[in-house]
Amino acid sequence: MKKQFWTSILGLALATLSLSSNAVSQEVPELTLQQAEQLREQALESTLALDITASLTTEVGARLPGTDADKKAVEWGMAKLQSLGFDKVWKEPVSIPVWLRLHESAEVIAPFPQNLIISALGGSVSTPKNGLEAEIIHFDSIEALESSADGSANNKIVYISKRMEKHSSGRGYGDAGPARFRGAASAAKKGAIGLVIRSIGTDSQRSPHTGVTSYEDGVTKIPAAALSNPDADQLDRILAHNKTTTMRLNIQTEVLPDATTYNVIGEITGSERPDEIVAIGGHLDSWDQGTGAVDDASGIGITVAAAKLIAQQQRPKRTIRVVMFGAEEIGVFGGKQYALDHADELAKHIIGAESDGGAGKVLALSSSVSHESLHVVDEMLKLMAPLGVVRSSAKATGSADFGPMVRAGMPAVGLVQDFTPYFDIHHTPDDTFDKIVPEELAQNVAAWVIFVKLAADWPGRFN
């Protein structure tokens, strides 16, 4: 016990030494810490993020890239930032493909005729006008499909039944997601003429989960759709009868000529280092069947509200830039375009973070910063501790839209949210405003104001 005691004391002393050595070089000003704490408390009381989220989801609703609603979303974003008094508001064009869902239906023909509810996967080609009818071949996972014999799915509809597991980390998405990401291409390589997958989602509602599927050059493009989880359960029960099971699939989609959407950008100009940018944001677009409330109106609401609350207290020393990215859902078009457009500004991006994990509570803070600046992250964590936020050992990626900037060298943090509720409604018709828990959304803003305030007012660099 004595030995342990002295080891602890020694550890503490070393830790203190290490902290001070950083702190001496580039300390976070005490006033900044006090202001951040005050902002945290204000954020917990504020309904600004909720109001912004309600406004986007109600006044615009669903906003698939390239549609009229997408144009309205851009107008909404410009007007919202202007009305909130951002110093500069502008938009930057992003060229995008336009894919539209026109019709989707599925039915079991034999042995037990009945309708099933599906959602065409984003980018799916159409079936023939009257649909296609074929025998189902069932695989437990995409790995089972990919390791099956050549021609195993010839002229059949492949069905992949793997169920996404529910974890607060959302890691089930990585396990089950590939059935959607590359399932259509993998099935076509085995001769299939169609693909249906169990939705990549953790709910038991008849709201199927859409999302992009990718085709491969040189591989036949086959129509692809997701069954809702209850419908996949039903198909599993039907298949358990071990009778030849046939399905009719009718998916009608349309690809329009490429169009232009926009990244909408607003800035609060910094008082001391206006050329240095703390970049935050979310994505403005959404899938077409819900109103994109948790994906990602809430991310827009959280980050816009955080910037506004900070500006209301005192002009930040660095510039806070909020980016409402365009066309994330269909392939991170806005995020990639932003990195291209701002390549020469990379060094000015002191740090960045996107909110694109829904409206669940922030559970942890990840980072991708230099060792020398980690103590600022420590200060953020101290202030976030009352919110229940702990350190994440994962490296911050910048999320989808700031990913290209982070890969190019921009430092980042990640405010890692609870994914437990998120994947129940992600990419479904049920991603609607009523699913947002106001207190959890406010907790997000409280965590974000701490990160943004410290990053904006601390004089050092994160790389």
Point out which residues bind its own copies (CB under 8 A). Answer: 54, 57-62, 68-69, 112-115, 117, 204-207, 229-230, 233-234, 237-238, 241, 290-291, 429-430, 432-435
Q: Of 335, 231, 239, whose CA–CA distance to 284 is shortest?
A: 335
Run of H or E residues at 20: helix 2-25
Phi, psi of 116, deg, nearest 5: -125, 150
Of the candidates 133, 328, 329, 354, the residue annotated as catalytic is 328
Paired with 356 in beta bridges are: none
Tokens standing for residue 83: 């009305």
Task: Look at the alpha carbons of 60, 64, 70, 76 in this order and tell me if their dihedral is positive or negative.
Answer: positive
Measure the CA–CA gap between 371 and 377, rounded to whole angstroms.
10
* Min separation Cβ 330 and its own copies, Å: 19
State the alpha helices, DSSP H only, in 190-317: 229-239, 298-313
How many other C-beta atoms lie within 10 A of the C-beta of residue 334?
Answer: 28
Let me know: does 301 contact 441? Beta carbons within 8 Å.
yes
| One-letter identity of residue 375 | H
328 is catalytic: yes
Measure the CA–CA gap between 188 and 103, rounded to whole angstroms.
22
How many other C-beta atoms lie within 10 A of the C-beta of residue 209?
Answer: 30
Tokens standing for residue 76: 């909404």
DSSP 8-state class, residue 113: -
Q: How far is CA 224 from CA 85, 174, 219, 343, 394, in A?
A: 45, 19, 14, 36, 33
Measure the CA–CA gap between 23 and 376, rounded to whole angstroms.
9
Q: CB-based contacts of 431: which residues, under 8 Å, 6+ apart?
A: 286, 287, 290, 291, 292, 293, 294, 295, 425
Run of H or E residues at 197: strand 194-198
Burial of 265 (0-12, 13-18, 19+ CB in 10 A): buried
Phi, psi of 203, deg, nearest 5: -90, 175
Q: Using CA atoms in the order 32, 33, 39, 43, what is the torsion angle rounded to 10 degrees?
A: 140
Measure the CA–CA gap between 289 and 64, rounded to whole angstroms.
9
- Collapse the DSSP code of 109 into the 3-class scheme (helix H, G, I; strand E, B; otherwise coil) and give the result: strand
* Min separation Cβ 430 and its own copies, Å: 5
Measure the CA–CA gap between 64 and 290, rounded to whole angstroms.
10
Give the active site residues.
328
